[in-house]
């Protein structure tokens, strides 16, 4: 055997060559993916749109400003399709679909096109819990085993409040990977074997950590307290009373009139083009991610919450109150609601809502502005669509005098 293999210089040369080849391959892949991306909507002015009715004269200026915002975002972010709705006071004042619900057939997005809303499902589930709180069938500070004995006891008690506020110490699936995407569950408790036996990541109440698993347990508690299947209770007590006819659980074979879901083909960046999302069964995620909806339905929901027509105002205040850690530090999350203050028409405005992630990227956003009567909802059929950015700009368009 040649003694060259014992020389450090030879090994260093081989390692350097291997690194160079790897870097060349990575750069080549990046170059190929970035240069072969085809713009879906090369001209913002050419983005197709569909609406069911023309806006009233009162809102014509705001709608035109918002249309320009959405068309620019669709073209710039290279999004297949986007749907938007806005409500003010008690009414839905604008709903319009942009782009394509299906790229192969060039099926247009309409206000009736359903989209997966990912973790924005949480606010809908929160309302169901609120109804049971009002009836005394759920109590926030009871251990979860009071309602769901199937949930294994931990070293310290885990309460319904802690699960709803992401303070329980449960883990999650990382967003894009996890065994539950490949399984089917008839009931929320069917998902427990995938996560419920794991040790808590921290003592309950001491840290905030978002967990889809926590809201599966909340869904199981709702089902037990309601003495009815979770999805049935959602339909009969939340969706039907509010006229949310286009909101339902996604099915493994897809919901009727649902937009085809896509995922960025490279680097979690839609600008490099979409590819069809892999098949997902969201049934095990229950109230944390299972629903499909339309922006119009989400706006109906937001208006009803703000006006106190589904839940009592005092209950809404409880659900939207920032929760606190054991240290006394306030979080920016309530019981199923993201909370914050955002600039609106040059002034700070209180915002309560929720973004919807699917496979780690945004597909939906709901924003309500309590006290102003303004509600905005945006959905897209690709992950990483930055729906919250679009919703913020649409809100600004409607907040202008």
- Over the stretch 361-383, which tens digit does the pLDDT of each residue have? 999 999 999 989 999 999 999 99
- What is the per-residue pLDDT for 65? 97
Instruction: Give the SS3 label for residue 207.
Output: coil
- What is the per-residue pLDDT for 32? 46
Tens of pLDDT along 150-177? 999 999 999 999 999 999 999 988 766 6
Backbone angles phi, psi at 93, to 5 degrees: -105, -15
Residue 193 has pLDDT above 50, yes or no: yes
Q: Which CATH architecture has domain 44-399?
A: 3-Layer(aba) Sandwich (3.40)
- Between CA 91 and CA 359 the distance in angstroms is 33
CB atoms within 10 A of CB 230: 25
> What's the pTM value of the predicted model, to 2 decimals?
0.92
Find out whether 365 and 356 touch, Cβ atoms under 8 Å: yes
Residue 229 has pLDDT above 90, yes or no: yes
- What is the per-residue pLDDT for 90? 85
Which residue(s) pair with 108 in the sheet? Answer: 100
Tens of pLDDT along 72-119? 999 999 999 999 999 998 899 999 999 999 999 999 999 999 999 999
Tens of pLDDT along 44-78? 999 999 998 888 899 999 999 999 999 999 999 99
Tens of pLDDT along 244-291? 999 999 986 667 789 999 999 998 999 999 999 999 999 999 999 999
Mean pLDDT of the chain: 92
Backbone region of residue 8 per phi and psi (left: phi > 0; alpha: psi in -120 to 50; beta: other values): alpha
> Alpha carbon of 167 to those of 159, 324, 358: distances in Å?
9, 9, 21
């Amino acid at each position: 055997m040649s003694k060259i293999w014992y020389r450090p210089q030879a090994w260093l040369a081989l390692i350097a060559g291997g690194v160079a080849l790897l870097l060349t391959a990575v750069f080549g892949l990046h170059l190929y993916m970035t240069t072969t991306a085809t713009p879906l909507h090369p001209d913002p002015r050419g983005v197709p749109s569909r609406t069911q009715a023309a806006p009233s004269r009162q809102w014509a200026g705001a709608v035109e400003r918002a249309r320009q915002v959405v068309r620019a975002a669709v073209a710039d972010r290279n999004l297949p399709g986007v749907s938007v709705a806005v409500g003010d006071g008690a009414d839905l004042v604008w709903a319009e679909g942009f782009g394509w619900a299906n790229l192969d057939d060039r099926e247009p997005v309409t206000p009736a096109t359903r989209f997966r809303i990912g973790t924005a499902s949480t606010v809908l589930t929160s309302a169901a819990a609120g109804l049971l709180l009002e009836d005394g069938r759920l109590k926030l500070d009871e251990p979860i085993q009071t309602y769901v004995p199937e949930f294994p006891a931990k070293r310290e008690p885990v309460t319904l409040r802690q699960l709803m506020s992401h303070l329980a110490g449960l883990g999650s699936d990382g967003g894009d990977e996890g065994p539950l995407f490949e399984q089917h569950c008839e009931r929320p408790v069917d998902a427990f074997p995938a996560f419920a036996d794991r040790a808590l990541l921290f003592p309950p109440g001491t840290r905030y950590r978002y967990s889809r698993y926590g809201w599966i347990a909340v869904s199981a508690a709702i089902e037990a307290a309601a003495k009815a299947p979770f999805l049935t209770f959602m339909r009969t007590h939340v969706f039907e009373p509010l006229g949310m006819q286009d909101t339902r659980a996604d099915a493994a074979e897809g919901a009727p009139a649902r937009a085809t879901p896509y995922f960025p083909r490279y680097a979690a960046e839609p600008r490099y083009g979409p590819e069809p999302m892999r098949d997902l069964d969201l049934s095990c995620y229950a109230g944390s991610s299972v629903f499909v909806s339309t922006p119009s339905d989400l706006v109906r929901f937001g208006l009803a919450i703000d006006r106190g027509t589904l839940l009592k105002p005092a209950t809404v205040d409880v659900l939207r109150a920032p929760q606190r850690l054991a240290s006394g530090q306030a979080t920016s999350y309530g019981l199923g609601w993201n909370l914050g203050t955002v600039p609106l028409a040059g002034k700070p405005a209180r915002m309560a809502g929720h973004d919807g992630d699917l496979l780690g990227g945004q597909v939906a956003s709901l924003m309500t502005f309590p006290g102003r009567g303004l509600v905005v909802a945006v959905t897209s059929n690709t992950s990483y669509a930055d729906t919250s950015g679009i919703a913020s700009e649409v809100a600004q368009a409607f907040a202008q005098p």
